[in-house]
Structure formats: structure tokens, C-alpha cells
Amino acid sequence: MAPVDPERTTGRLVLAGTPIGNAQDASRRLVDLLATADVVAAEDTRRLHRLAAALEVAPRGRVLSYHEHNESARTPELVEAVRGGATVALVTDAGMPSVSDPGYRLVRGCVEAGLPVSVVPGPSAVLTALAVSGLPSDRFAFEGFAPRKPGERARVFAALAHDERTLLFFESPHRTAATLSAMADAFGADRPAAVCRELTKTYEEVVRGSLAELAAWAHEGEVRGEVCLVVQGSSGRTARSRAELVAEVGELVAAGRRMKDAVREVAARDGVPSRELYDAVTVQRKGSPDGLPAGHAE
């Protein structure tokens, strides 16, 4: 990694944050940058031109595309432009470049070449959702998009179940209901959360409640628009062993509870996947001659 030489005459890479919905959130610095940059690399050039029109500014420099399908090939070209003295502005469709958007490769390329990189800050869907969620904001983690495959998604959520930080995820509207259900299984049905959709736009909506309530809400109606899910962190209680959880389920069943209801209650309280706990209880019940009372298995 080469240090930046302040005496060398070069250009610079500028990461420019763009509005996440409302064009009026654009900064004066963004408008000035679009008007003066030698090169504007945009995730979607059509969306850039629509934004520029809304801001009443015409990009002076060359406009070219820079997205997930061409960033590997185009990065060296842009690094060389900066090396040659050009001011290269990088903008994505919404928010800050490199945060769940193209940009990381270009930043690394410039950093490794010892070329200047600066930022024009702008709106952030992550911070906007965190602030409006009403959940703790002193410590948080952005986890990007949840895995699409149910098994992989369950494993990721299980690993996060005891994280004490507020967790934020992006999600597509058609997967929101399934993701919330998986979160309820992994984190506990009563874990507080918020669904933030269409932030800063005309139909902005923030729905708050437990994960179980939000999953039911999402399943009942069609979720639309861009979605950010905010989930409160674990209470910090020391995680109990699987054997302790199975034993508690056994006690509840012996007291007359249905096994599925007992599993659901214990899993929600301890923030573990209910399906995994149910399987563990079933295995112990089959392997123990004194197992759980058969009459209450279901």
C-alpha cells in the first residue's frame, strides 16, 4: 500500500452520497461535484441523469457506468484517470458507494496506488432506519442482505442470536415475510424490531413490533418498496446449553404443556431456532426410556 504523496500532482477519487429517495436531500457539495468532476462513474447512468435533472445540474465530465458486472474491468481505468490528474466522482443509485453498492474495489485500487480518496457525505438508509426505528442506537451492526436460501439464512441468524448490538438488514420486499419469520425463530418471537420501507419517499412507512407481530403483518399484506429491517440486540443473558433448554421443555411438558408450545416458548425466551430445539427434544425423547410423556408430544 503506497502512502499518499502530498507533493505529487494527481487527481482524486470522490465517493459521493446520493439521496435515498427524496432528491431534496442532496447536498450543495454533491451538486458542485457533479458540475465539476472530470469523470462521473455511476452505478446506473440513467438514474444519474434523472437525479442531475432534478438537481438542475449538468455533469460537465465524461459519464460512464460502474456497476457490479463491470467494476473489476473498469477499476484500473478509473485508477489511471485519477493518477493522470482527473477528479473522478463515484455515485451509486442511492446512499453511499461501497456500502452494499459498488465502490470497494475502486477505493482499494486508489489506496494501494497512493492516490487521494475523499468523500462527499450524503443520506444513508442504514443510519436513517436506525434513527427512526426507536431501537437502541449506541451499538449496532449492518449485516447487508440476509441469505436467500433458508438453510444458510437460519445458520447466519443462529450465529447472530446472542449479539447484543442492534442489527440492521436490507431485504427485498418479496422476501421480507420469510425473513421476519426466520428471525422470529432464531432471535425469539418477542424480540423488538422495526420494518422501515420507502424511507424519505412519499409512501414512507415504519412498522414497529415484535418479530412475530411483524412477520404476521408482512404475511397478511404485500410488502412494497425498499426495505430495511432493524432488530434489537440480545438482552445479554448468558446463553444456556442445549441440554438445559431441552430439560426445561421436558418440565413444561410434564406439567401438561403441548411439546410444540413448550418448545416455542423456550426457544423464544432464549433466542434459539425453535426447529433446532424441537429436533433436539425429539432426539432425546426417542433415545431415553423415560423420555417425555408421550401423551403430550404434540
Ordered by start, the domain boundaries in the chain are 12-123, 126-231, 242-296
Residue count (the chain): 298
Which residue intervals of the chain are DSSP H helices? 28-36, 45-54, 71-83, 104-112, 125-133, 150-160, 176-187, 211-220, 242-254, 259-270, 274-287
Q: Tell me whether the CATH fold assigned to 12-123 matches the one assigned to 126-231.
A: no
CATH topology of domain 12-123: Cobalt-precorrin-4 Transmethylase; domain 1 (3.40.1010)
Contacts 24+ apart (CB under 8 A), 232-235: 232/135, 232/136, 232/166, 232/191, 232/192, 232/193, 233/136, 233/139, 233/163, 233/164, 233/165, 233/166, 233/167, 234/161, 234/162, 234/163, 234/164, 234/187, 234/271, 235/164
**pLDDT string in tens for the chain (298-residue length):** 566 555 555 799 999 999 999 999 999 999 999 999 999 999 999 999 999 999 999 999 999 999 999 999 999 999 999 999 999 999 999 999 999 899 999 999 999 999 999 999 999 999 999 999 999 999 999 999 999 999 999 999 999 999 999 999 999 999 999 999 999 999 999 999 999 999 999 999 999 999 999 999 999 988 999 999 999 999 865 556 778 889 999 999 999 999 999 998 888 777 677 888 888 898 887 765 444 444 344 4
- The pLDDT score that the predictor gives to residue 296 is 43
- The pLDDT score that the predictor gives to residue 265 is 87
User: How many of the other CB atoms lie within 10 Å of CB of 199?
Assistant: 22
Map grid coordinates 438488514 to a residue. Answer: 169
CA within 13 Å, CB half, 227: 22
- The pLDDT score that the predictor gives to residue 285 is 79
Cell of residue 226, nine digits? 425498499
Cell of residue 49, nine digits? 441523469
* Range 126-231 classified under CATH 3.30.950.10: yes
- The pLDDT score that the predictor gives to residue 159 is 93
Q: What single letter denotes the amino acid at residue 17?
A: G
